[in-house]
Structure 1
């Protein structure tokens, strides 16, 4: 759901609720006009607040997007460097383990041959 759609629904619901309350209460004509004027003033204030909040939200999203564009490539490059460093540092261990596994396999083959001969 888009944020602007959410705020539009929120404002529309608030206006509908205010109008329903104003017209459903028993009042005289002058009281009703006074209530409508007061509700109108309140709604204008709330619209102004919503407009400010939307502007703040847009600014925040713009700032986050800019920051992400700057920082994500740096972080990705750092991760790539770390992985490459890890691979280089573990290469000798990997080679040693491969040699040890080959030696174990050779020893097992010799053992199997010696068992078969008996």
Structure 2
């Protein structure tokens, strides 16, 4: 939501509330003027507070975005380094497993050939 849309809605709501109070109050004119003046002063303070909060939020988001732009590449590099280190540390196990798999495949081929030869003899 844009800040200008929010502020426009807030102002419109305030004006509507003020008009409703003017028509439904049993106060005298001077009392109403005093009330309206007090309410408008209060609304100005509240609007200034809202503006301040929006400014703080904007600054916070800007700061967080800047930090993220700096930290994300570092994190990616760290993750890449960790993956490369893991790959190097598991390379010997990978080679050992590949040799065992080849040995098992050779044994299976020999076994199949032996079974095939025995079936031909029988």
Q: Once the 2 structures are TM-superposed, how far is the Cα of residue 72 of structure 1 from its aligned partner?
A: 1.1
Give ranges in structure 1 of 5+ residues lacking alignment: none
Q: Which has the higher contact order (CA 8 A, sep 6+)?
A: 2
Larger radius of gyration: 2
Go from structure 1 to structure 2 and tell me whether the alpha carbon gap of 1:114 and 1:43 turns closer, same or farther (over 3 Å shift).
same
Go from structure 1 to structure 2 and tell me whether the alpha carbon gap of 1:91 and 1:36 turns closer, same or farther (over 3 Å shift).
same
Aligned to 2:65: 65
TM-score, scaled relative to structure 1: 0.83
Q: Once the 2 structures are TM-superposed, how far is the Cα of residue 108 of structure 1 from its aligned partner?
A: 0.7
Go from structure 1 to structure 2 and tell me whether the alpha carbon gap of 1:103 and 1:62 turns closer, same or farther (over 3 Å shift).
same
Go from structure 1 to structure 2 and tell me whether the alpha carbon gap of 1:115 and 1:43 turns closer, same or farther (over 3 Å shift).
same
Tell me the number of residue pairs that the alignment of Structure 1 and Structure 2 aligns. Answer: 117
TM-score, scaled relative to structure 2: 0.81
CA distance in 1, matches of 2:57, 2:80: 33
CA distance in 2, matches of 1:10, 1:86: 57
Give ranges in structure 2 of 5+ residues lacking alignment: none
Aligned to 1:95: 95
